[in-house]
A and B are shown apart, each in its own frame.
Chain A
């Protein structure tokens, strides 16, 4: 048995602004099945965080239960992590975020963890526009329990054993749009050119950023007839546009001088640059996004890319006017301002 990854890395690996190589963003060796789409998503998260020069200790990884929710062990080994109860990741994320707004919250969930047991949590975290990245590793089946159809399995999709799913799927991206999510994207684990910039944009987005990633289950749902198999997804994928994330420090005009494509300026001066925008796609228009998604579904296509963004999003802290600072940075004087302050408050009510 091996399961042992050498400590040696490529000696010429580039370093980011913090002086780290991708090694500092890796986690433990994955124990998922060989060829699992989730491992590719983990790889994309590593790549995105490395390229954004995020300090690993500034990230909190949160997850529930399932194959997807095991993955935080396999990336960002130097970051904080919380592996919560099944479907309850959004609550833990909310609590953590409320206590410390300075961290980047990276929630990882699966189709079971989100669309079945965690649905209630999912819809409320969207409604509140909690500042987090929410990635669903969506393989359309319950991989940990031997591949039963999940709530996102398409109607008519065939399982490995040959049974055909009779139920309508829950379209998580559509639902997020419907519930008012401020950043909605869809992608495919086998398309890291698209997924890496999407994750970067999602991290940068000041609000709830949802990415539904089709991630084939190589063991239980990669058979002919399955609509979440590598081959099927590749044949039916339609990108809304090509996407690039241009960080704030880079002049967008030097990178895309000819002025083609669409630039979305984000709150901190970063840009999302879209090229070859498909017909009917307008990332600022929620209705158009919902339409495009429905049309794609009717045509048996999987629409990927950035579907909708609200660049000036206001997150939960802003809405409820919570503390500007992380609670752990508040001293006794701020937490217990004394009788005089209390008297002042009381005076205000008289």
Chain B
């Protein structure tokens, strides 16, 4: 193998698994360390800068960081990264004074944002301080998009949402709520310098099977129903409820139903339980609220008697996989199952819809009715029009929408300054030695043995009777400290200086997880068979040095490195050093 180019920031970035997995690349270990130090405000601001909605995401994020967390490869559970973020939001002091302060000197450019969700708000947050005049259009009565209409209050209190939406809107954003944009052409005619479309994936998919029309009164599209509850138009539901679908919307629907009078709430899903799209913790929370989840059931008929919905019949199936891993659901041949229901909520997926974008705007559409958008610049075929969030590439999640927003903001800024959009700014990086003495480091190098702490929940009897009562209580400060200390500090990198190494093997023998091997060089596949510990995780890189005096190379398998610093403590010549690596995605401007 060629020696690793550790001067390329992407190498060490990849070692910080959580940050690498985060669409917005939030510097996770950095803010976790700040939480451990009790510096909640600073931790919040690092988050705010990167993901705009720390309080919201600390409760509702899909957490792509947690399955990536190195801790999860060393023991059972990853660090509770998401809920630590909430601790920063819950315990921060005044942060407003740390944010960009009005007035911003105008640059004469006007930008329209269609849709007031996380993607648009991120664009607004990034561009307003640069002097852009931002006009935000949304059909709802307040900003936040799906965070407001689809995430129930028992998961995300309205105050938390309002606070973080307002941090953005207070930057002099011109808002036009309750304004449904029915024509892109009209917006373009207003001669904005650029237009950003962040309208999400607003339409819930319907289920057209026999009985759908007859029972229409008691069949609701999940996202519409959730919005109707959020905006206080709907206050109750029948005692027996069927929720169709296995995603997070289905989980929100069933749990909301329990709060609006649903007593026997059943989630019925086509796929096997393990393959449901909902996050595992959402499923757990639903089950905890006495919701039954029936998997491998395909809906057949809405059963209607005397013009009233009685229930539904389902066919039982099992999943079969072909050679290519493609799944098909094969009927088991068992008799169909009838389940009683007063109401049915259909939460089987979201669709994009752009009836308001006219052909003559020059915004071209490709497959599945999706706009043709550049994956890097987020620019559409009309150079003035940019897309982001679910509107760009289909339904994902809040943190992805924020990441899109940042990139779109960069593009819009470059576009308005007539620069090349493909020349993206390089990330901000920094690498600083943590050495203080022979056995002393600036960072807390000791690896805690504790297992993951659980976030306390409010009593079910209380939460089920109040739709707005938040279920999760959040970590208290003491537990947060313990959980924060489970973080392995993966951003404190093991940096190897080949020229200093005397090949004494001290690091090889001290490493608790046997990451380090000195051996003759070879191709990666061959090298991985010759390391001290099995090297089976091919997603993790090997850190390879140049050839040493004994004609061997140092090979470090990054997979389960604890970042405990013992290699560097044991090194008599400081050939190993622990250096904190900071990586920040550069924002617009």
Chain A interfacial positions (CB closer than 8 Å to B)? 1-14, 22, 29-30, 33-37, 39-40, 42-43, 46, 189-190, 192, 216, 218, 222, 230-231, 234
Contact = CB atoms under 8 A, between A and B. Distances in A.
B446 A4 contact: yes
A8 B534 CA distance: 15
B64 interface: no
A234 B513 contact: no
Nearest to A1: B439
Given A2-B565, A6-B447, A35-B572, A42 B504 contact: no
Given A2-B446, A9-B512, A9-B513, A40 B533 contact: no
Nearest to A234: B550
B509 A11 contact: no
A5 B438 CA distance: 16
A14 B441 CA distance: 32
Contacts of A230: 502-504
Contacts of A7: 447, 449, 512
A40 B505 contact: yes
B73 interface: yes
Nearest to A230: B502
Contacts of B536: 12
Interface string B534-576: 1010000000000001100000000010101110011111000
Interface in B50-109: 73-75
B506 A10 contact: no
A222 B564 CA distance: 27
Contacts of A33: 572
B440 A35 contact: no
Contacts of B74: 8, 11
A1 B438 CA distance: 8
Residue among A11, A29, A42, A192 having the largest count of chain B Cβ atoms under 10 Å: A11
B219 interface: no
Contacts of B570: 34-35, 39
B564 A6 contact: yes
B506 A34 contact: yes
Given A8-B512, A12-B534, A218-B572, A36 B503 contact: no
B504 A35 contact: yes
A11 B534 CA distance: 9
22 contacts: A1-B439, A1-B440, A5-B566, A6-B562, A8-B75, A10-B515, A10-B533, A13-B514, A13-B533, A13-B534, A22-B514, A34-B569, A35-B570, A35-B572, A37-B504, A39-B509, A40-B505, A40-B506, A43-B508, A43-B509, A190-B503, A234-B503
A140 to B, nearest CB: 16
B214 to A, nearest CB: 56
B560 A35 contact: no
A317 to B, nearest CB: 34
A26 B284 CA distance: 40
Contact of A35 (B75, B502, B550): B502
B19 interface: no
Nearest to A235: B549
A-B complex: 8 closest residue pairs judged by Cβ atoms = A35-B572, A43-B509, A6-B447, A10-B533, A12-B534, A35-B504, A10-B513, A40-B505
A40 B513 contact: no
B414 interface: no
B445 interface: yes
A107 B508 CA distance: 24
B572 A34 contact: yes
B372 interface: no
Nearest to B445: A2
B510 interface: yes
A222 B570 CA distance: 16
Contacts of A43: 505, 508-509
Given A34-B571, A43-B505, A218-B504, A5 B510 contact: yes
B529 to A, nearest CB: 13
Interface residues of B, number: 38
A14 B508 CA distance: 17
Nearest to A35: B572
Nearest to A4: B446
Contacts of A9: 512-514
Which of B440, B502, B562: most chain A CB closer than 10 A? B502
A189 B509 CA distance: 12
Contact of A39 (B510, B513, B550): B510
A330 B535 CA distance: 49
Given A10-B560, A13-B514, A234-B549, A2 B572 contact: no
Which of B439, B509, B550, B570 counts the most chain A CB atoms within 10 A?
B509
Which residue, B506, B510, B533, has most C-beta atoms of chain A within 10 A? B506
Contact of A11 (B504, B505, B560): B560
A12 B502 CA distance: 29
Nearest to B561: A10
Contacts of B512: 5-9
Given A39-B506, A39-B509, 6 more contacts: A2-B439, A5-B564, A6-B564, A8-B74, A12-B533, A35-B571
Contacts of B445: 2
Given A190-B505, A230-B503, A14 B534 contact: yes
A14 B572 CA distance: 30
A42 B505 CA distance: 11
A7 B448 CA distance: 9
A2 B571 CA distance: 14
A4 B562 CA distance: 12
A39 B513 CA distance: 17
A239 to B, nearest CB: 13
Contact of B506 (A6, A13, A36, A46): A36
B405 to A, nearest CB: 38
A2 to B, nearest CB: 5
With a 10 A CB-CB cut-off, give which of B446, B503, B504, B560 has the most chain A CB atoms: B504
Nearest to A192: B505
A40 B514 contact: no
A231 B565 contact: no
Interface in B480-528: 502-506, 508-510, 512-515
Nearest to A12: B534
A37 B505 CA distance: 8
A196 B187 CA distance: 76
A11 B438 CA distance: 29
Contacts of A12: 533-534, 536
B521 to A, nearest CB: 16
A8 B549 contact: no
Contact of B562 (A8, A218, A222): A8
A5 B504 CA distance: 19
B504 A190 contact: yes
A42 B570 CA distance: 14
A122 to B, nearest CB: 27
Nearest to B448: A6
B441 to A, nearest CB: 7
Given A3-B439, A6-B564, A35-B573, A216 B513 contact: no
Nearest to A44: B509
Interface string B179-199: 000000000000000000000
A35 B575 CA distance: 11
Nearest to B437: A1
Contacts of A10: 513-515, 533-534, 560
A218 B447 CA distance: 28
A11 B503 CA distance: 26
A3 B564 CA distance: 10
Contacts of A14: 534
